[in-house]
């Protein structure tokens, strides 16, 4: 039986009882090509406050979702690639906007895979890639420690643990969905090399800022206020969704000033959040 995407207006936005929860991310700390013709690689910025939730109940195959993240007719094929039976009534809830660069597409698929009983990261990554064309490493337990080839769903290297940090950010500008065929990214071999030996938060934040600046210079928008906000608020650095609208200021824990949310809102940021890693 073909999957049904459900009507996004018919589902409540409150938490789904008994659901599995998969955290999204908040843009990338690094993203670009490894060499001019090399793969597109990234280091994701984890974001536990924004997640996808999914639950399965017995019954004919159906998918009811709060936002149209899984296109009609794809869900049954997704389950088949997972090796899961194409049956059951699934409910899916997203806490992040589509096209925000917060991992909605991948987090949704990982949550659905887990609800279907499939948790092996390699299997889930393969199914996400087949469905999306490009994926984030959210099926792994520590996605921020991976150098990830997003168009190949492949771990390129394991990286040092992220330092403790406080993130303050939001979404700026219109949604920007990822195009899997888009290869217009700066070369970041030097940033990846530096990442593997960065000594502290200041070092990581400087590299993340460099990746974000290269992306903004290459792809825009020209009026992006994130660099100026980071400087004005005393942030250690900033990160962006290289193919989305998420923007993050990076602070040492407890260093984000009071009232900073109002500054972001005045600059046009939406869905502002603050969290620690």
DSSP 42-59: EEEEEEEEEEEEEEEESS
| Alpha helix (H) residue ranges in 26-115 | 75-82, 104-115
Mean pLDDT of 107-117: 97
pLDDT at residue 177, rounded to an integer: 85
Question: Which pLDDT belongs to residue 176?
Answer: 87
Question: Whole-prediction pTM value?
Answer: 0.93
Q: How far out from the chain centre does Cα 61 lie?
A: 27
Q: Where residue 108 falls among pLDDT bands split at 50, 70, 90?
A: very high
| Strand ranges for the chain from DSSP E | 20-33, 40-57, 62-65, 89-94, 146-149, 154-158, 166-171, 237-240, 246-251, 270-276
* Residues pairing with 112 in the sheet: none
Tokens of 255: 């260093």
Residue 277 burial by CB count (10 A; 0-12/13-18/19+): exposed, middle or buried? middle
In contact, 56 and 89? CB cutoff 8 Å: yes
| Annotated domain spans of the chain | 8-157, 159-276
Answer yes or no: is pLDDT of 235 > 80. yes
Answer whether 167's CB lies under 8 Å from 248's CB.
yes
Provide the pLDDT for residue 6.
Answer: 34
Q: Which residue has the tokens 């999914």?
A: 54
The share of the chain scoring above pLDDT 70, in percent, equals 94
Q: Determine the average pLDDT of the residues in 234-257.
A: 97
159-276 is a CATH 3.30.2010 domain: no
At residue 15, the pLDDT reads: 63
Compute φ and ψ for 112, nearest 5 degrees: -65, -40
**Amino acid 1: pLDDT:** 28
Look at residue 181 in the predicted model and tell me its pLDDT: 86
Specify the 3-state DSSP secondary structure of 203. Answer: helix
Q: Tell me the average pLDDT across 170-175.
A: 94
CATH class of 8-157: alpha beta
Average pLDDT, the chain: 93
């Amino acid at each position: 039986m073909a999957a049904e995407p459900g009507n996004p207006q018919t589902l409540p936005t409150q938490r789904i009882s008994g659901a599995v929860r998969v955290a999204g991310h908040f843009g990338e700390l690094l993203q670009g090509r490894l060499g001019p013709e090399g793969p597109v690689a990234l280091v994701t910025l984890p974001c536990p406050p924004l997640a996808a939730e999914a639950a399965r109940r017995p019954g004919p195959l159906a998918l009811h979702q709060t936002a149209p993240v899984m296109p009609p007719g794809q869900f049954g094929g997704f389950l088949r690639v997972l090796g899961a039976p194409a049956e059951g009534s699934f409910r899916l809830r997203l806490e992040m906007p589509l096209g925000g660069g917060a991992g909605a597409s991948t987090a949704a698929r990982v949550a659905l895979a887990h609800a279907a009983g499939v948790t092996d990261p390699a299997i889930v990554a393969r199914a996400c890639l087949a469905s999306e064309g490009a994926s984030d490493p959210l099926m792994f337990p520590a996605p921020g420690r991976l150098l990830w080839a997003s168009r190949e769903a492949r771990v390129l290297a394991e990286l040092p643990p992220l330092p403790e940090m406080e993130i303050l950010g939001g979404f700026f500008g219109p949604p920007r969905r990822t195009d899997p065929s888009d290869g217009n990214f700066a070369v970041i071999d030097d940033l990846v090399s530096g990442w593997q030996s960065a000594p502290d938060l200041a070092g990581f934040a400087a590299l993340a800022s460099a990746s974000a600046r290269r992306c903004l210079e290459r792809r825009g928008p020209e009026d992006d206020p994130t660099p100026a906000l980071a400087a004005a608020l005393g942030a250690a650095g900033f990160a962006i969704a290289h193919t989305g609208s998420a923007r993050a200021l990076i602070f040492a824990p407890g260093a984000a000033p009071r009232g900073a949310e109002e500054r972001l809102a005045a600059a046009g940021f939406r869905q502002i959040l603050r969290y620690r890693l």
